[in-house]
A and B are shown apart, each in its own frame.
Chain A
Amino acid sequence: MIALDDLDRALLRALVADAARPAAALGRELGLSQPATWRRIKRLREAGVLAGRRLELDADAVGFGVTVFLGIKLATKGRVSLEDFERAVSAIPEVQTVAHVLGLYDYRLRVVARDLADFERVLRRRIMALPGVGDVEANVLLSEERRPGPI
């Protein structure tokens, strides 16, 4: 596993805050030369720690006013294959995240919709129609923050 020093950690935190900054600017802030910054970024990328970039959009501003987390229990385990469920749920455009979980539910979904009426449509027509779907619990997202995590 890759070992990180304090500069790597500072670099990771800076890239999580803004991945589009040029290496020269990052390096200046951290007291590194541009080539040294590049070497570190390359090493973190090759170790798989830097797994890509994400465009951060204001969901509200592009017309998606509602985000809902769904807990889904499969009703007929054994009869419906998990692959069938996963394939079908992944094909729904409003479903952003699908996680197979262990505990009270079998899957956690993150779903976006234009408003609550639109969410009801997605829930009834798409989610409830999935193969094997049983109990569904919906929690409407009010606020969200990402933390830097243990780096």
Chain B
Amino acid sequence: MLEDHDRAILRRLQADPSLSGAELAEMTGLSGAQVARRIERLTRDGVIKGQSAVIDWAALGFPLAVSLRITLDKTVSGGFDAFLAAAREVPEVLEIQTFLGRVDVRLSLVARDLAHYQQVYRARILSLPHIADIEALMDVASVRDERGLPL
């Protein structure tokens, strides 16, 4: 279970993962050793899974982001796994989520422009196995992006 001091550390690290132990200590009123011990424990317990770099795909020449909401044909046994395995092979796919609801899978993908998207969609997406239905949503703007958890 998280203690208040853990929460305080995680909140600040979420806001700025590059904070040093000394900076965190000053912000939370703990000693440097206490902060280090808590971070070590949170990491060992799997609460902190690590840090990842965030890539701006538009800056890399992929300004187009599309969400594909996919319904699968559930009458085929093993269809789900076959679909996921094939979707992992599409380089433009950034995220794969599975759901309980009206939609089974969401693929989030990036493209260089509409012509490129069209090409990926036709050549790679439509040939994925066991698709019953696809809806595409194009991202117009990110209003709020990837805020941390409300700890």
Contacts and interface: CB of A to CB of B under 8 A. Distances in A.
Interface of A: 1-2, 4, 12, 15-20, 47-59, 61-64, 69, 71, 86, 89-90, 93-105, 107-108, 112, 137-147, 149-151
Contacts of B142: 97-100
Nearest to B89: A147
B18 A101 contact: no
Given A53-B51, A56-B49, 13 more contacts: A55-B14, A61-B45, A64-B149, A95-B144, A97-B146, A103-B137, A105-B137, A107-B143, A108-B137, A112-B149, A147-B96, A149-B110, A150-B110
B121 interface: no
Nearest to B92: A150
B13 A100 contact: no
Contacts of B53: 12, 15-16, 19, 50, 52-54
Contacts, number: 196
Interface string B79-107: 00000000010011111111111110010
A62 B42 CA distance: 10
Given A97-B145, A141-B99, A151 B50 contact: no
Contacts of B146: 54, 96-97
A139 B59 contact: no
A50 B53 CA distance: 7
